[in-house]
Amino acid sequence: MPLAPLVPSDVIRAAFSGAMSEMYRTEVPQYGTLMELVAERNDEALAADPDLKARLERAGELDRLSDERHGAIRLGTAEELAFMARLFAVMGMHPVGYYDLSVAGIPVHSTAFRPVDDAALAKNPFRVFTSLLRLDLIENDALRDEAAAILASRSIFTPRAVELVELAEAKGGLTALEAKEFVAEAVETFRWHSEATVSRETYQRLADVHRLIADVVCFKGPHINHLTPRTLDIETVQRRMPERGIAPKAVIEGPPQRDCPLLLRQTSFKALEEPILFRSETGHEPGSHTARFGEIEQRGAALTSEGRARYDILLTKARTAANVDAKGEGAKDYETSLVETFAEFPDNHESMRRERLGYFRYAPTEAGLDAARRGSFETDLDALVEAGHVSADPIVYEDFLPVSAAGIFQSNLGTDAQSNADASGNKAEFEAALGRAVIDEFALYREAEARSIEATLKALRSAHT
């Protein structure tokens, strides 16, 4: 009997992303509204700006735009994280970057599982911001042990999901039939459970230390807490949110609005208060929990480590100059301070490229290929770009930003306050839990740029000969 062919991991990831989106839309209707708002504004923005449309098309981003989303989950134990890495690997998603959220007083550290190569990103860039609870930051020994014991008694993956991950690892992939079953089983892990696994009293003791601890520890699994569509114009969508009955957080996280968008800008609406059931002696008693929210993101240029260092300095400067309080007071001053502070960061792609602040994807232009055919031979990239023989488009930032992520966490915990606590990260411990090192995001962008340069020069060379 011939063996059934294996489906590419990109196909499994796209199916999973679609299934998650469908599930979340039924669970949280505001997410559907946000998706509509974003799609509507993206269509308008593309129609109004043919250059933007052409650039997205060249970068292979146009087709993926409406599929584009990220999600977030919070895990409780090293074992959960290690197996999650194996589950995501079946879908071609690998841990990129380390985010220390303890610096903002949030007891987690995180990575983003995402596709890493150009082709996979172009097919479907679905990513999941994945946090691991840091029980080591709970000072009360008894409470820490209790939380650990509750977590140790749950299993967040279905038995069949575990088998399918093992099967995929053993044979290097899944057949179409197995992939379909895998997606259905995997989605179960991220489903919302309105029944807490603990009593109100236990929930409250954990929540009193940090509400995030209760969110992770007291439920059967790591419910997806938001899914985020990608907008081309975050300002407008933010402004339109209240018209559709959605109240956004006070400030947009990340860099200010600019002609050439940098890195990542994000805004969210606050977590919903949802009815849940606690365990009690008589069976159940009603209560409520806030965990799930909505977010939108606008992606801009990936920065080199020099560019990123400058971004970090400017952001700190803007935050020091104007702080936003828990009620969102000070948001306007903060926005002004952000725009003013970032004025010194070049706002055109050519300066960013020449000053090595961002990563670029190079490609030969028609004129360049013509010139090469007619005998021109030039290998100096700047000269080629200047002559219009090579195009240079910014590489889109595919990752997250720790200060922004902290703001998103804070906001859905019910406060707009910007906080700068002083705990420290523990990347080594995170990687030990994960069972591998996280991938360096800068190396990925650097390699993507280098590959495009190599391919460009090769194309020009072969046109020449």
Task: Point out which residues bind ligand OOG (CB under 6 A).
Answer: 72, 74, 129, 131, 225, 266, 295, 400, 404-405, 408-409, 412
Name residue 126's amino acid. Answer: F
CB of 227 vs Ni ion, minimal distance in Å: 8
Name the residue nearer to ligand OOG (CB basis): 127 or 389. Answer: 127
Residues 268, 238: Cα–Cα separation, whole Å: 9
Q: Which one of the spans 94-102, 221-229, 255-263, 328-336 is the region binding Ni ion (CB under 5 A)?
A: 221-229
CB of 177 vs Ni ion, minimal distance in Å: 33
DSSP class of 327: T
Q: Which does 35 bind (CB under 5 to 8 A by kind): ligand OOG, Ni ion, none?
A: none
CB of 267 vs ligand OOG, minimal distance in Å: 10
Name the residue nearer to ligand OOG (CB basis): 111 or 404. Answer: 404
Q: Which one of the spans 32-40, 71-79, 157-165, 205-213 is the region binding Ni ion (CB under 5 A)?
A: 71-79
CB of 404 vs ligand OOG, minimal distance in Å: 5
Residues 208, 100: Cα–Cα separation, whole Å: 22
Give the number of other Cβ atoms within 10 Å of residue 262's Cβ: 25
CB of 298 vs ligand OOG, minimal distance in Å: 12
Q: Which of residues 145-204 bind Ni ion (CB under 5 A)?
A: none
CB of 412 vs ligand OOG, minimal distance in Å: 6
Q: Which does 74 bind (CB under 5 to 8 A by kind): ligand OOG, Ni ion, none?
A: ligand OOG
Do residues 270 and 411 touch, judged by C-beta distance below 8 A? yes
Question: What Cα–Cα distance (Å) separates residue 176 from each residue in 4, 14, 15, 86, 120?
Answer: 8, 13, 11, 19, 18
Residues 427, 99: Cα–Cα separation, whole Å: 8
Site string for Ni ion, 270-309 (x = CB under 5 A): -------------------------x--------------
> CB-based contacts of 426: which residues, under 8 Å, 6+ apart?
100, 109, 134, 136
Q: Which does 111 bind (CB under 5 to 8 A by kind): ligand OOG, Ni ion, none?
A: none
Residues 424, 109: Cα–Cα separation, whole Å: 10
Q: Which does 405 bind (CB under 5 to 8 A by kind): ligand OOG, Ni ion, none?
A: ligand OOG
CB of 293 vs ligand OOG, minimal distance in Å: 8
Name the residue nearer to ligand OOG (CB basis): 249 or 389. Answer: 249
Residues 239, 247: Cα–Cα separation, whole Å: 10
CB of 400 vs ligand OOG, minimal distance in Å: 5
Name the residue nearer to ligand OOG (CB basis): 129 or 269. Answer: 129
Question: What Cα–Cα distance (Å) separates residue 272 from each residue in 3, 27, 345, 420?
Answer: 48, 11, 37, 25
Q: Which does 400 bind (CB under 5 to 8 A by kind): ligand OOG, Ni ion, none?
A: ligand OOG
Name the residue nearer to Ni ion (CB basis): 279 or 292. Answer: 292
Pairing of strands 264-269, 174-175: unpaired
Name the residue nearer to ligand OOG (CB basis): 155 or 290. Answer: 290
String of DSSP letters for 120-157: HHHH---EEEEEEE-GGG---HHHHHHHHHHHHT---S
Name the residue nearer to Ni ion (CB basis): 134 or 230. Answer: 230
Q: Which does 88 bind (CB under 5 to 8 A by kind): ligand OOG, Ni ion, none?
A: none
Question: What Cα–Cα distance (Å) separates residue 141 from each residue in 51, 101, 137, 167, 202?
Answer: 58, 22, 10, 40, 15
Name the residue nearer to ligand OOG (CB basis): 112 or 352. Answer: 112
Q: Give residue for tokens 């839309």.
A: 25
Residues 451, 98: Cα–Cα separation, whole Å: 25
Q: Which one of the spans 68-76, 146-154, 281-289, 341-349 is the region binding Ni ion (CB under 5 A)?
A: 68-76
Q: Which does 17 bind (CB under 5 to 8 A by kind): Ni ion, ligand OOG, none?
A: none
Number of Cα atoms under 13 Å in the Cβ half of residue 270: 19
CB of 100 vs ligand OOG, minimal distance in Å: 13
Q: At what angle do helices 50-58 and 29-48 cross, to 10 degrees?
A: 110
Name the residue nearer to ligand OOG (CB basis): 64 or 74. Answer: 74
CB of 74 vs ligand OOG, minimal distance in Å: 5
Do residues 426 and 335 touch, judged by C-beta distance below 8 A? no
Using CB under 5 A, count the residues that bind Ni ion. Answer: 3
Q: At what angle do helices 176-189 and 78-90 cross, to 10 degrees?
A: 150
Q: Which does 416 bind (CB under 5 to 8 A by kind): Ni ion, ligand OOG, none?
A: none
CB of 241 vs ligand OOG, minimal distance in Å: 17
User: Of 115, 125, 111, which is closest to residue 81 (Cα–Cα)?
Assistant: 111
Residues 124, 9: Cα–Cα separation, whole Å: 10
| Binding positions for Ni ion, rule: CB under 5 A | 72, 228, 295
